[in-house]
Amino acid sequence: MKIKSKVAWGVVALFLSIVGMGIIGLYYIHTLATETRAILKNNYETLQHMGALLAASDSLDSRPDARNQMRVSFAKQQANITEPGERELTEKLGLTLNVLVATGAQDSLLRTLRSQVAAIQGLNMRAIQAKSERADKTAQQAVNYLVMVATAIGIVTFTLILNFPGYIANPIVQLTTSIQAIARKNYEERLHFSRHDEFAELAQAFNQMAEKLDEYEHSNLAQVLFEKTRIETIINRMNDPVIGLDEYRNIVFTNAQALHLMNLSAEHVIGRYAPDVAVENDLLRKLIQADEPGRDRDLIKVVLNGKENFFSKEVIGIQVTPTGEPEPKSIGQVILLKNVTPFKELDLARTNFIATISHELKTPIAALQTCAQLLNDPRLGPLTQQQTTIVGTLSEESQRLSKLVTELLDLSQVETGNLRLNLSPVKSGKLIARALEATHVAMERRGIRVQTQWPNEEPTLNVDVEKTTWALTNLLTNAVKYSPEGGTIEIAVQVEGGKTLISVRDHGSGIEAKYLPRIFDKFFQVPGAPQGTGLGLAISKEFIEAQQGTLTVLSQPGQGSVFTITLPGMT
């Protein structure tokens, strides 16, 4: 039965019980009233008539209307015969009364009359007694019935008070618990109500929902597994080695190429903490070294089948924004390796080619320069104005050619890894003095002033004097080139955290922000800049970095640039 019907029937039952109680009460009240009225009418009135008759008989002689009074009382008694035997007694009394009325008051007759009246009175008194006892019984019965019905209603109500809240609340509690279980993704949760009401329907609907969710979850899982397999296949088919780490740096996936490169098997790698595996694997150590996601500049060299292979490394951070959270969260990183050996080989071939050509060009260029010098010698005869100009251009261009060839040679030296450092302790002032010496002619020509700033104690550096001076000279040459005529160049030496910083500041054209990241690239020249080779800064950077230093730039278009060489202190 439905809860709605149950509640309705319960209320109806209670209502009927109360109505029943009322009917029983009314019935007994009515019975008692009837019985009391009967006592009054049937017996009490007889007693009154008999009393009046007796009183009239006492005053027969003194009151003229006594006889009449007796007749009236007797007539009323005749009309109120109610008890068994009362009729006979009344008839006898009537006879006695007739005689008395006819003959007059005689003592014997009066005695008879009184005894007959007493008999009638006695009969009615006994009847009153009997009826009173019956009324008592009826009242008692009424009380009994009412108590019984009230007790029954009380028991039912008490049982309802005890059970009904639980009857309603228990399934709700169970439902709440089950909903919470579903919220925790426990889709196995089911409700079992052994009843046939609205809660049973609710349980059925809930179970259907849970089943559908379970089905959905499993189909989703199947989909996810399918996608996982597909991605794993793609990763495995990739020609480039790939390693995936989770946010705790455990290795979650890798492909055959990466395993081949690391010379490890999947069982030794998957699910393991990467730094633990890296303890026994040099390559993995190099791969997980750079924590900052981004491209690693240095190539990784791996010898495979007796041949050197070069890989570039890219670390891609994976971030997701969990549902309901505002901030993205890192869930790991993917390390991608790219085999750049063919490019490296091509690059090497190019470098060797440039080195050979530069080397081959050095001698003829030197010869050209000597020839130009000889032509300028007055001992070989005077030159016309036009010839002097031509020889001047020849000398200038051969000098530019010589500079280019020297820079190309330096570059090839850097690129082939043949850069040899000749470290020796040197005062920073000496480096600057040498660089200034190399550039003072150009400075004077353009009226450039130089301001220097030194720390209290001049730092000594352990560097390759030639290469560092070369880099510094290059910075000063650029500063002169890009400064306005009559401008100022500031050279500052600072010591910070055990490192020596040498900065060259000019107040020239400056460099646009979009070109800044590229100015250290080989052959890069800012569009519109005066002719150059685009190699000076690239070589300078290589020279400084080879000595564990850095070369950085800060620049504002129209305001000038600051190039800073940072070199480690003496150890």
CB of 357 vs ligand ADP, minimal distance in Å: 19
Among positions 421-480, residues that touch ligand ADP (CB under 6 A) are 474, 478-479
In the complex, what is the shortest distance from the CB of residue 310 to ligand ADP, in angstroms, rounded to a whole number?
25
* Tokens coding 374: 């000889």
CA angle 123, 126, 127 (to 5 degrees): 85
Assess 561 for contact with ligand ADP (CB under 6 A): yes
Q: Are 432 and 491 in contact (CB under 8 A)?
A: yes
510: left (phi over 0), alpha (psi -120 to 50) or beta: left
Binding segment for ligand ADP among 27-35, 179-187, 329-337, 528-536 (CB under 6 A)?
Answer: 528-536
Report the residue number whose CB is nearest to ligand ADP: 532
C-alpha to C-alpha distance for 465 and 525, rounded to whole angstroms: 27
Residues 6+ apart with CB under 8 A from 260: 241
Q: Are 311 and 299 in contact (CB under 8 A)?
A: yes
Select from 482, 502, 549, 551 the one that contacts ligand ADP (CB under 6 A): 482
Q: Which of 241, 459, 487, 508 binds ligand ADP (CB under 6 A)?
A: 508
Instruction: From 137-145, 249-257, 440-448, 531-539, give the range in contact with ligand ADP by CB under 6 A.
Output: 531-539
Task: Tell me: does residue 409 bind ligand ADP (CB under 6 A).
Answer: no
Judged by CB under 6 A, the number of residues near ligand ADP is 21
Q: DSSP character for 396?
A: H
Contacts of 308 (CB under 8 A, 6+ apart): 301, 302, 341
Q: How far is the CB of 247 from ligand ADP (least distance, A)?
A: 41
Tokens standing for 198?
A: 């609205």
b/e for 357-370, b at 16 or more Cβ within 10 A? ebeebbeebeebbe
User: Out of 207, 494, 533, 564, which residue is the one contacting ligand ADP (CB under 6 A)?
Assistant: 533
Can you name the residues that pair with 489 across neighbouring β-strands?
A: 450, 506
By CB under 6 A, residue 519 contacts ligand ADP: yes
Task: Name which position in 293, 455, 534, 568 contacts ligand ADP (CB under 6 A).
Answer: 534
Min CB(528)–ligand ADP separation in Å? 8
Residue 10 host element (H or E): helix 3-38
Interaction of residue 546 with ligand ADP, rule CB under 6 A:
no
Q: Which stretch binds ligand ADP (CB under 6 A): 58-66, 209-217, 279-287, 508-516?
A: 508-516
For residue 475, the minimal CB distance to ligand ADP (Å) is 7
Q: Which of 536, 542, 544, 567 binds ligand ADP (CB under 6 A)?
A: 536
Residue whose CB is less far from ligand ADP, 249 or 507: 507
Residue 525 interacting with ligand ADP (CB under 6 A): yes
Decide if residue 487 touches ligand ADP (CB under 6 A).
no
Q: In this complex, which beta carbon is closest to ligand ADP, that of residue 331 or of residue 516?
A: 516
In contact, 464 and 547? CB cutoff 8 Å: yes
Measured at the CA of 220, the angle between CA 218 and CA 223, to 5 degrees, comes to 110
Stretch binding ligand ADP (CB under 6 A), from 27-35, 233-241, 245-253, 506-514: 506-514
What is the rounded CA–CA span in Å between residue 322 and residue 306?
47
| Residue 48 is a binding residue for ligand ADP (CB under 6 A) | no
Q: Please tell me whether residue 101 binds ligand ADP under the rule CB under 6 A.
A: no
Can residue 117 be called a binding residue for ligand ADP (CB under 6 A)?
Answer: no
N-to-C CA span, the chain:
94
Q: Write down the least CB distance from residue 524 to ligand ADP, Å.
A: 6
What is the C-alpha to C-alpha distance for residues 389 and 232, in angstroms, rounded to an integer?
Answer: 72
What minimum distance in Å lies between the beta carbon of 353 and ligand ADP? 21
CA pair distance 134, 126, nearest whole angstrom: 12
Q: Which stretch binds ligand ADP (CB under 6 A): 55-63, 112-120, 447-455, 502-510?
A: 502-510
Torsion over CA: 418, 241, 275, 333 (sign): positive
DSSP one-letter code for 83:
S
Question: Smallest gap, in angstroms, from Cβ of residue 455 to ligand ADP?
Answer: 24
Contact stretch for ligand ADP (CB under 6 A) within 133-141, 290-298, 409-417, 527-535 = 527-535
* Residue 202 near residue 168 (C-beta atoms within 8 A): no
Which one-letter amino acid corresponds to residue 189?
E
State how far the alpha carbon of 231 is from the alpha carbons of 224, 227, 254, 314, 320, in Å: 10, 6, 11, 19, 18
Residue 532 binds ligand ADP, judged by CB under 6 A: yes
554 binds ligand ADP (CB under 6 A): no
What are phi and psi for residue 413, nearest 5 degrees?
-60, -45
Residue number with CB closer to ligand ADP (455 or 510): 510
State yes or no: residue 411 binds ligand ADP (CB under 6 A).
no
Q: Which residues bind ligand ADP (CB under 6 A)?
A: 474, 478-479, 482, 506, 508-509, 511, 519, 524-526, 529, 532-538, 561
